Amino acid sequence: THVVSENCIRCKYTDCVDVCPVDCFREGPNMLVIDPDECIDCAVCIPECPANAIFAEEDLPADQLAFIKLNAELALADGWKSITKRKAPLPDADEWKDKPNKIAELVK
Ligand code: F3S
């Protein structure tokens, strides 16, 4: 599967959802995740993300491994809904892009 990692938090650019052929993205308040049961590993979303937040599971940086479980859990969580069309990023996305240790900012 592919995994959305920390750098999506407080950015949510949503360029990724426009290219997904299986509509596997799920939207939370300040991050998207990928439903691992739907993702077909096509990888087309990876270069679309301005924050470089999406990785193939096997390419995830070591400090991002917690996001495998987080994507799987949040994809099924209450309130996390399918998103298939691009929309405006969060208002201060450009300020938060590339900030380290954003996991504390994740709103579930
Ligand atoms: Fe997040 Fe990047 Fe998509 S910031 S919403 S994974 S384009």
- What residue spans define the domains of the chain? 2-84
Mean pLDDT on 12-17? 98
Query: Is the minimum distance from the CB of 46 to ligand 1 under 6 angstroms?
Result: no
Residue with CA nearest ligand 1 atom 7: 49
* CA dist., res. 68 & res. 86, Å (int): 23
* CA dist., res. 102 & res. 64, Å (int): 11
State ipTM.
0.96
* CA dist., res. 50 & res. 7, Å (int): 10
Query: Is the minimum distance from the CB of 53 to ligand 1 under 6 angstroms?
Result: yes
In this predicted structure, what is the pLDDT of residue 47?
Answer: 98
For residue 54, the ligand 1 atom closest to its alpha carbon is 6
Mean pLDDT on 32-55? 98
- Name every residue whose Cβ is closer than 8 Å to that of residue 74 and which is 6 or more positions away in sequence: 26, 28, 31, 33, 80, 108
Q: How many residues does the chain have?
A: 108
Query: Is the minimum distance from the CB of 9 to ligand 1 under 6 angstroms?
Result: no
In this predicted structure, what is the pLDDT of residue 38?
Answer: 98
Phi, psi for 4 (deg, rounded to 5): -90, 125
CATH no. of 2-84:
3.30.70.20
Q: How many angstroms is it from 15 CA to the middle of ligand 1?
A: 6
